[in-house]
Structure 1
Amino acid sequence: MNSELTDPRTGRPRSTAPVSREPEVAAAVAAARTALGAWSALTPKDRARRLDRLATLIEDSAAEYAARERAGTGKPDAETAGEIEQVADLFRFFATAARTRTAPAAGRLVTGHESWVRWEPMGVVGVIVPWNYPLMMAAWRCAPALAAGNTVVVKPAETTPDTLELLTEHASRTLGEGVLQSLPGDRRTGRLLVESPVDMVAFTGSGRAGLDVAARAGTRRISLELGGNAPAVVLPDAPADTYASLAEAATYNAGQSCAAPARVITLTANYEETVTRLTEAMGARLAGRDFGPLNNPDQVARYDSLVASSSAKRQLAADLAVPPGEEHGHWRAALLLADLPHDDPTVTEEVFGPLLTVQHADTVEAALSLANGVPQALAASVWTTDLGTGLDLAARLDAGEAWLNCHLVQTAELPHGGRGPSGHGTDLSTLALQEYQRPKTVTVRLTPGPRES
């Protein structure tokens, strides 16, 4: 059974991909279980060496990865190049991080006994990743899981299996057979993977799908990153580059990023200036030249429906710069919505497109209330030259990641994760290793026991 893949830039069919069902899922999980013993028995140093070789192979094959990523997502070359570089860096980072372990206090905590804590891998980890960053989201999940000693079966999104197929080929050569496997398919494939005898599930995707994963996973550990609806609080004394920076972040990957700025919130006194300057900044970002298309017809339909349902009195769209021959692709122009109610669907829901809404409040406290007024709590930013005010607001924003005078600035060393409906768990940083490990306390009695007569 195969599914048809389309080119987001043209809307035309480009190839087909297999759709995995019960036999393929069972075989992949069994192979991962078989590989687990040898992989988890390696010392952190030996696993690190193999992960480093995988990172080198990714770098050496960057052109092929870029071609596959572009085929599935339509991303511009500059975006794919930067993301592939980050993927290689992530595997190297976690290879080293797993060698610098921390644990709760060890020693003689009970009289006559010595205790310590072992960090052990969860086992076989089922990973499900979305289509917006097919390779990078897989690396966010797979790199720490592998470094911690787990084996992984990863299911890519139905529309973007290309780069994971190559990654698992390279993993087979560098890590060993069965250590990292790709399981292409549709939503049913993902459900079958969650219901299979994996020891843990790591999922990145929508809130509704995350709830389904949680229900199917039962008592097994799950790690969920379920999307966001990031506010950007822009105060009247914001830096001069605020508007261009927000426009760039909002249109990167056509806005299809869980942490992208979505809701600009400013003060009433600065509202018209903010709308004017954001209109100029968004107008300078052209789909087809500066960013790519939406990924698939379902996302296009959802995006168009949200925009059509908006009560915004001002809808300010940029131009398109679609290359010849790509006129029928999933292109959408950068769009600014202003003069809209606080309960507008484009404010309360994650839009996932090249769109910014602009709201205003009379006071800073009221602006903070608007920022924290939606269920999602993944990322947020504050824009002001008053460092004290900025740090205070960043601390009070309900988000797992907050930026001051920047947005979407991330690195392997810093944790990323959501709160509430945006999920739980940690991607990136050494903290992510604990997502894929479980502690075991070992206590030894030092005093001799009674001897047999």
Structure 2
Amino acid sequence: MAARLRLVSPIGMSSDGEPLMELIDPRTGAVRGTRLPAREAEVAGAVAAARSARAGWAALTPRERQRRLGALAELVERHADDYVAAECAGTGKPAAEAAGEVAEVADLFRFYGGAARAATAPAAGDYLAGHQSWVRWEPVGVVAAVVPWNYPLLMAGWRCAPALAAGNPVLLKPAETTPDSALLLAAHAEQALGAGVLTVLPGDRETGRLLVGAGCDLIAFTGSPAGGADVAARAGLTPVSLELGGNSPVLVLPDAPADTWEQLAAACTYNAGQSCAAPARVIVLDEAYEAAVAALAAAMAGRRAGRDFGPLNNPDQAARYDRIVASSGAKAVHTAPGRSDGLWRPATVLAELPDGDPAVVEEVFGPLLTVQRAATLDAAVALAESVPQALAASVWTRDLPTGLALTDRLSAGEVWLNCHLAQSAELPHSGRRSSGAGTDLSVLALREYQRPKTVTARLL
């Protein structure tokens, strides 16, 4: 089974007639290889192996788990060039972006290794007369993690690092189009953590459905709202942790810092805009609207596909992006020069959009910003809050009291002031409304993968 799961050739054929997944190079649109998807036998075998590894992994002291996760971080760093190549092959992102994300993943394993050693619980005490009580945080069990294609390795790190640190074996299902770096991580995890502690199941949607229904103890899913709803329905009473995307509003006041537009253009085009927390909907006051559109268009025109950011990940996403842009009722479209090959899309600004425009209501997930006007700050907040998603937002103003007051009024799980996409392992990232339920990053993420046990003893 291990050979089928981890060591299948990037370009190969199925000997048993199983349809092969085609892997597309988003830089050219050409098929770069094939992959045999995991099916029922592989999923069942992986779950059984994780069950076998569960007791031994959970029994390790936090100090020993920290040591082993540190060893995994060292392997990631030692083979950073291999991880960068794997990420670039699957996503097409620039090598510099991939290298930064590989470093972040190594940091995540180290961070959570240490965080698990400092876990807190309600203090032991005499809460009932004649009794002593305390709370233990225990691993939830076998975790199934399903991660998307936009940050293949980084999202694997967000899910796997806290789950492993909390004492759970993990079954990781990467996106169909980007299994490369996850397979490399699995090989290094077996070396650093032991057999069965982290297993990768490459495959398609059917593989994911099989994994969700395989009897794991928790399902951690990062992806689309439709995918999250399907996972929640199939999971039944199994606990789920869901991060389901965003459509981030950006409130820019007339006194915003001078570098606001360059900062937003860079954040929007990072990873070709394929980030759940990327800036998406710029909202400005009426009196500053025309100047804002012009300044943002100029900043976006300086961001070039192929030089500053990569292509969209797959043909389906490119077709969806094109549909949203084509169906938009925007009266003004500002587009930077792009490339005609592969799945590259240019940095784009849409202005003068009608109410309910698809480019505003839907999460575009590409290098695109819309610009909306508001008569007052109250109207701007109402526009910001007018979509189902509530993952991230930002406010831009030199008036810090006003800016901080606006951050209080925005219901997103993460709000920035005069910056965007500024994240650290120490700070929680969570969605509200249709953006999901659960927490990634920070020590709070450990709670996603633990359950409390209250122990009360009568004093004799």
Scaled by the length of structure 2, the TM-score of the pair is 0.95
1:242 pairs with 2:255: no
Alignment of 1:32-431 (within 5 A): 32-320=50-338, 322=339, 327-431=340-444
1:433 pairs with 2:451: no
1:4 pairs with 2:22: yes
Q: Does structure 2 retain, via aligned residues, the 8 Å contact 1:8–1:293?
A: yes
Residue identity opposite 1:35 in structure 2: A
Q: Residue deviations 1:202-231, cap 9 Å, x none?
A: 000000110010000111110000000000
Q: Residue deviations 1:373-432, cap 9 Å, x none?
A: 110000000000000000000111010000000000000000001001000100000000
Shift in Å, 1:106: 1.6
Shift in Å, 1:446: 0.8
Distance 2:114 2:52 in 1: 25
Q: Does structure 2 retain, via aligned residues, the 8 Å contact 1:342–1:359?
A: no
Distance 1:219 1:388 in 2: 44
Shift in Å, 1:6: 1.1
1:27 pairs with 2:27: no
- 1:444 is matched with 457
Distance 2:405 2:241 in 1: 29
Distance 1:395 1:168 in 2: 41
- 1:450 is matched with none
User: Aligned with 2:415: secondary structure?
Assistant: strand
Shift in Å, 1:328: 2.6
Distance 2:21 2:250 in 1: 39
User: Aligned with 2:203: secondary structure?
Assistant: coil
Distance 1:300 1:134 in 2: 18
1:18 pairs with 2:31: no
Distance 1:240 1:439 in 2: 49
Distance 2:445 2:31 in 1: 38
Q: Does structure 2 retain, via aligned residues, the 8 Å contact 1:210–1:224?
A: yes
User: Aligned with 2:440: secondary structure?
Assistant: coil
Percent identity over the alignment is 66
User: Aligned with 1:98: secondary structure?
Assistant: helix
Shift in Å, 1:131: 0.2
**Number of equivalences:** 442
Q: Does structure 2 retain, via aligned residues, the 8 Å contact 1:44–1:99?
A: yes
Distance 1:397 1:57 in 2: 41
Shift in Å, 1:140: 0.2
Shift in Å, 1:166: 0.3
- 1:451 is matched with none
Distance 1:208 1:392 in 2: 33
User: Aligned with 1:228: secondary structure?
Assistant: coil
Residue identity opposite 1:302 in structure 2: R
Residue identity opposite 2:282 in structure 1: V
Shift in Å, 1:105: 2.8
Distance 1:91 1:429 in 2: 12
Residue identity opposite 1:184 in structure 2: P
Residue identity opposite 2:42 in structure 1: E
Distance 2:353 2:235 in 1: 40
Q: Does structure 2 retain, via aligned residues, the 8 Å contact 1:194–1:201?
A: yes
Structure 1, gaps ≥5 residues long: 448-453
Shift in Å, 1:13: 1.1
Distance 2:264 2:324 in 1: 21
Distance 1:396 1:30 in 2: 47
Q: Residue deviations 1:291-331, cap 9 Å, x none?
A: 000000000110000000100011110012x5xxxx53100
Structure 2, gaps ≥5 residues long: 1-17
Q: Which runs of 4+ in 1 moved over 3 A?
A: none
Distance 1:420 1:385 in 2: 30
User: Aligned with 1:441: secondary structure?
Assistant: strand
Distance 1:218 1:103 in 2: 28
Distance 2:84 2:440 in 1: 23
Distance 2:355 2:309 in 1: 28
Q: Residue deviations 1:79-127, cap 9 Å, x none?
A: 0010000000000000000000110232111111111000000100000
Scaled by the length of structure 1, the TM-score of the pair is 0.97
Shift in Å, 1:78: 1.0
